[in-house]
Amino acid sequence: MTGNGRRVVIGASSVPRFLPHVRFQHDPVRDRWIVLAPERMFVPDDIAAEILQRVDGARTVATLAGDLAQDFDAPAATVTLDIITLLQDLADKMVITA
Amino acid sequence: MTVPPPLALMMELTHRCPLRCAYCSNPLALEPASQELDTASWRRVLDQAAAMGILQVHFSGGEPTVRSDLEDLVGHAASVGLYTNLITSGVLLDSLRIDALAARGLEHVQLGFQDCDPAGSESISGFRGGFERKIKVAGWLRQRGLALTVNAVMTRHNAVRAGALIDLAAELGARRVEIANVQYYGWGLLNRAALMPTRDQLIEMTAVVEAARQRLTGIMVIDYVIPDYYAKRPKACMGGWARRFVNVTPTGRVLPCHAAETIPDLAFDRVCDRPLAEIWTDNMAFQKYRGIKGMPATCQHCDHREIDWGGCRCQALALAGAADAVDPTCERSPNHDEIQAIAAREAMTGRTDFVYRQRSLG
Ligand code: SF4
Ligand code: SF4
């Protein structure tokens, strides 16, 4: 799939997934998570990697936030905002869609 | 100290190409088809690349689709876990071949456009009908669901059409467009006076790109490469010498960048003679300019040293006469003013007498 002519706006009810031909995987040689995209790669920081590991094309941002808030004992509102900021940035880089 | 492995492998499968672009960055001495690596050798390169931690492979050339084993090599790359990119002019592709490549696991195609005007396209590539063919190819790629990047190569002849090229890329459903001003290596360097845009064209192009980025946020990514002759500082060539990329030529010579063979006192190894990982770590050409200690003294003490990695050694050689000089596109180079003056002067010559890429200049 290529561009679809409209900007994806991420909100709490969005169901994020990786665009086709974008791979999120663990790099065993460097022991870190990595996003592989056309001629590009992104190295997410630890928090971003935790979020991206939960992106499965089924759960909403709100659900992901709930999970993460529980796992990391953090306020859900802050977590939701962090997730939206990260995923919007990645949507604008053509890595994530919803 | 251990050397971190590269992230990406550039496989120049062949120097053969039906096009004859005046800006081609292939070397003037093109490697002959008879000496190209065979399928088994390239498969071994892919195995070694994956084992040493390389993540992406770029199938390039020349025109990689002239190799009938491209599907096989793409399939092999995918099977060892590499992310596969094909860099092509597209003119030899048809829908069956695209289906086959997609079925073997190809992820992404970078389709090169010389222009969005068929006549301009023909004039710079010496190839008729290329533009029309590329439009078809883009359609097939889209149908097949492959990720598409449009690579628009910019010179003073198509500079006014930067905006139209961006619009074309969006229409074609590209996820990404590169507005890539020619970098002056190989045939491009030879033809520099007939290609260089004016500073005014560049300012205009930059404004067009900025406006399009606003308009197309979240719809298409726009990467913009300027000719660094007009810049204050050089580009971070290859993301730093022997730091992220390794390039293998059609005959198997292993280079830190595709132009590295222009530097006369470097000795290169071949993939048939030595494992890739060992070449990466130990070959003298890789070691020579690697990291901060491989930079000119001015760069070693400069705040930008880990931003532009001291620019480009090949450009330093071409423009300042020494590979270990400060890249003359940097304002701290003693040659900087001269280089900017040359660019401005050449841009005004109005020359269109291209030397088309060809097997022998004789
Ligand atoms: S720049 Fe033109 S001539 Fe050179 S390899 Fe690419 S398509 Fe062929
Ligand atoms: S002196 Fe070297 S490191 Fe500093 S900006 Fe110039 S090229 Fe880059």
CATH number for A62: 1.10.10.1150
Measuring from atom 6 of ligand 2, which residue has the nearest CA? B330
CB-based contact A61:A10 (threshold 8 Å): yes
- At B265, the amino acid letter reads D
Determine the average pLDDT of the residues in B239-243.
95
- CA of residue B219 to ligand 2 center, whole Å: 35
Report yes or no on A18 lying in a domain. Answer: no
Digit-coded pLDDT (tens) for B99-117: 999 999 999 999 999 999 9
Whether the ω angle into residue B350 lies within 30 degrees of 0, i.e. cis, is no
Report yes or no on A30 lying in a domain. Answer: no
Tell me if A94 and B146 make a contact (CB, 8 A cut-off): no
Domain that holds residue A68: 1-10+45-98
Q: What is the pLDDT of residue A2?
A: 41
Q: Minimal Cα–Cα distance from A35 to chain B, Å?
A: 10
Report yes or no on A21 lying in a domain. Answer: no
Q: What is the dihedral of CA A56, A60, A61, A62, to 10 degrees?
A: -140
A2 vs B348, residue with greater confidence: B348
Tell me if B148 and A2 make a contact (CB, 8 A cut-off): yes
Measuring from atom 8 of ligand 2, which residue has the nearest CA? B310
Look at chain A and report how many structural domains it folds into: 1
Report yes or no on A22 lying in a domain. Answer: no
Q: What is the pLDDT of residue B361?
A: 57
Q: What is the dihedral of CA A53, A57, A59, A60, to 10 degrees?
A: 100
CB atoms within 10 A of CB B345: 11
In which band, very low, low, confident or very high, does the pLDDT at A84 lie, cut at 50, 70 and 90?
Answer: very high
- Using a cut of 0.90, tell me whether the model's pTM lies above it: yes
Q: What is the pLDDT of residue B1?
A: 60
Terminus-to-terminus CA distance in chain B, angstroms?
A: 47
Report yes or no on A63 lying in a domain. Answer: yes
At residue A3, does pLDDT exceed 60? Answer: no
Which ranges in chain B belong to alpha helices (H)? 39-52, 70-79, 95-103, 118-125, 130-144, 162-171, 186-190, 192-195, 199-215, 276-282, 284-288, 297-300, 313-320, 336-347
Residues of A in contact with B108 (CB under 8 A): 21, 38-39
Measure CB to CB from residue A30 to each of B53, B85, B141 and give the nearest one: B53
Report yes or no on A62 lying in a domain. Answer: yes
Report yes or no on A61 lying in a domain. Answer: yes
Of all residues in chain B, the one with the smallest CA distance to A1 is B145
Any atom of ligand 1 within 6 Å of the Cβ of B85: no
At residue B165, does pLDDT exceed 80? Answer: yes
Measure CB to CB from residue B55 to each of A1, A34, A91 and give the nearest one: A34
In which band, very low, low, confident or very high, does the pLDDT at B353 lie, cut at 50, 70 and 90?
Answer: confident
- Measuring CA to CA, which residue among B254, B290, B293, B295 is closest to residue B272? B254
CB-based contact B237:B315 (threshold 8 Å): yes
Report yes or no on A76 lying in a domain. Answer: yes
